[in-house]
């Protein structure tokens, strides 16, 4: 038997970002490891510049996700001012430097969202400095504002974190009670996602590499990890 902190994530709009290059900003239908670490860090009050704090938190946590409703896809279009392409121009270190130029161009970019997405998350921690009770307090009364992928996507319901003792990840996730008003969003079969080293309590249908293990928050650098997926079968 192991301890899990289980909580819910629901909002009219969510945006769980994944690898992004150039104009396109794609997303997943479930939260990434980096997104969940960021959520906990915000609740705990770990500043983005505190690399030591982020590294310690990441080394202590493992996550599992039960996706109940992937939500409907929504795409938004943005226009962004950009400096002219000129190889002789000095290097721009900040966005402010870019906008100081006298001649600015316009670039079209895309942002993706999910509408009415619902997931249940379980977090494990065996580190004495990061007990689950500390995470529970942080998600109940967060230090910084919580949001689901973007600042424009705040949670629409309390996260309602509960500590569960269970024989497997699946048991912990399945025992969590979602508000009955949200049952209409549920898919026929929930999907499950988890990390290597967790006692999932189910067989995975496949596993994929994910580049969502942060190694430096300030420079937005990530390394790969394995993500295991069950499509809802026993």
User: Which residue, chain included where needed, has tokens 């529970």?
Assistant: 136
Q: What is 2-20+27-71+117-230's CATH topology? A: Alpha-Beta Plaits (3.30.70)
Which value, in Å, is the radius of gyration of the alpha carbons in the chain? Answer: 19
Please report how the helices 51-60 and 33-44 are oriented relative to each other, as an axis angle in degrees rounded to 10.
120
- Where exactly are the structural domains of the chain? 2-20+27-71+117-230
pLDDT per residue of the chain (234 residues) written in tens, 0 to 9: 999 999 999 999 999 977 666 566 678 899 999 999 999 999 999 998 898 999 999 999 999 999 999 999 888 887 777 776 665 666 666 767 777 767 777 777 788 899 999 999 999 998 888 999 999 999 999 999 999 998 999 999 999 999 999 999 999 999 999 877 787 788 778 999 999 989 999 999 999 888 888 888 777 788 888 999 999 755
H or E segment to which residue 95 belongs: helix 95-99
The 10 Å Cβ neighbour count of residue 219 is 9
The span from the CA of 106 to the CA of 148, in Å, is: 28
pTM summary value? 0.84
The 10 Å Cβ neighbour count of residue 166 is 19
Residue 224 half-sphere exposure toward CB, CA atoms < 13 A: 5
């Amino acid at each position: 038997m192991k301890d899990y902190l289980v909580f819910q994530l629901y909002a009219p709009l969510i945006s769980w970002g994944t690898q992004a290059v150039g104009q396109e900003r794609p997303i997943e239908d479930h939260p990434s490891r980096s997104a969940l670490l960021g959520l906990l860090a915000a609740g705990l009050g770990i500043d983005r510049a505190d690399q030591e704090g982020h590294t310690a938190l990441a080394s202590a946590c493992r996550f599992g996700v039960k996706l109940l409703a992937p939500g409907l896809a929504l795409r938004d279009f943005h226009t962004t001012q950009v400096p002219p392409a000129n190889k002789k121009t000095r290097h721009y270190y900040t966005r402010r430097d870019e906008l100081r130029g006298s001649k600015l161009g316009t670039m079209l970019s895309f942002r993706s969202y999910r509408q009415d997405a619902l997931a249940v998350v379980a977090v494990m921690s065996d580190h004495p400095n990061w007990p689950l009770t500390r995470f529970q307090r942080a998600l109940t009364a967060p230090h910084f504002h919580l949001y689901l992928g973007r600042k424009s996507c705040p949670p629409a319901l309390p996260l309602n974190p509960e500590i569960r003792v269970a024989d497997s990840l699946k048991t912990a996730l399945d025992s969590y009670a979602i508000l009955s008003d949200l049952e209409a969003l549920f898919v026929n079969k929930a999907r499950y996602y988890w990390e290597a080293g967790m006692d999932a309590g189910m067989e995975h249908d496949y596993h994929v590499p994910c580049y969502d293990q942060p190694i430096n928050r300030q420079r937005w650098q990530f390394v790969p990890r394995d993500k295991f997926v069950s499509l809802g079968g026993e």
